[in-house]
Amino acid sequence: MSIGNNLNQIKASLPNNVTLVAVSKTKPNQAIIEAYEAGQHIFGENKIQEMTEKFEVLPKDIQWHMIGHVQRNKVKYIAPYVSLIHGVDSFKLLQEINKQAKKHNRIIPCLLQIFIAKEETKFGLDKTELFEILNSEEFKALENISIKGLMGMATFTDNESIIRQEFISLKEIYDEVNQKFGHLENLDITTLSMGMSNDYKIAIECGSTMIRIGSSIFGSRNY
C-alpha cells in the first residue's frame, strides 16, 4: 500500500470531529511530500532538531506538531513556527514556551500531557499536579500560551480493557478541566489528543478528537 492509500483509508474511517496528525518522525522528506500531496497538512515530530530541519525545506503551509518530550533550552528553536505542542508536562516548561512565544509576538497552542499509563517511562502530569498548575495565579498570568486540551499515551499492551480504562480516565479529566477552568483567558479546550496506530479506534470510542498515527501511514520505523 502507498502512503496516499494508507492515509485515505484511515481518513475515510474517522468521524468528522477527529483530526489526524501524521507522525513523520524518522521518515525522509520524500515520504512527507507524498503524504502532503495526498492532502495531509498536519505532521507530528518528536525531536526538535529533526522537526526544524524539515520545517525549513518543506512547504510552508504544513502545520508542525511537537509530540515528543520538550527540553526547556530547545523551545526557542520551534517557537517561531510550531502549531501545537502536545507534550507540556511542567509549569516551568510552560513558562519558557510563554517567554519564547512573546519574543515572536505569538500565542503558542499547547496541550498538557497527562500520565495515564502503567509504565514508568512515559512522561506526564498526574491530576493533582495538573490542577495545581491551573489553579495558580502564575498560570493565569501567562498571556502567550493557549491551552487547547490534554494529551496522553496508553500503556503498550494487547489488553484492550487496560487501554480503554486509561483513555476513559483521561476523558474524565478532560471534561473536568473544561468544566472547572474553561472560563480562564488562556484556556480554550477543544482538543483531546489520544490514540496511535495500535489503539486509535479505542481512543475515538472514548472521546479522542486528535489521533497521532505513524506506522499505519508510513510503515514501521526501523530503529
Residues that bind ligand PLP (CB under 6 A): 23, 25, 46, 67-68, 153, 196-198, 212-216
| Four-point Cα dihedral 183, 93, 77, 149, nearest 10 | -30
Amino acid identity for residue 16 in this structure: N
- Smaller CB distance to ligand PLP: residue 23 or 142? 23
Q: How far is the CB of 146 from ligand PLP (least distance, A)?
A: 20
Largest alpha-carbon pair distance within the chain? 52
- Smaller CB distance to ligand PLP: residue 134 or 196? 196
Q: How far is the CB of 118 from ligand PLP (least distance, A)?
A: 17
- Smaller CB distance to ligand PLP: residue 142 or 196? 196
Q: How far is the CB of 83 from ligand PLP (least distance, A)?
A: 15
Q: Which residue has the cell 489520544?
A: 194
Q: Beta 42-45 vs 84-88: how paired, if at all? A: unpaired
In sequence order, which ranges of 38-159 are alpha helices (DSSP H)?
Answer: 48-57, 75-78, 91-103, 127-135, 137-140
d(CA 214, CA 20): 10
| Cell numbers at 16, concatenated | 468528522
Q: How far is the CB of 5 from ligand PLP (least distance, A)?
A: 17
- Smaller CB distance to ligand PLP: residue 100 or 216? 216
Q: How far is the CB of 6 from ligand PLP (least distance, A)?
A: 11
- Smaller CB distance to ligand PLP: residue 10 or 177? 10
In this structure, are residues 47 and 26 in contact, taking their beta carbons and an 8 Å threshold?
Answer: no
| Four-point Cα dihedral 146, 188, 123, 216, nearest 10 | -110
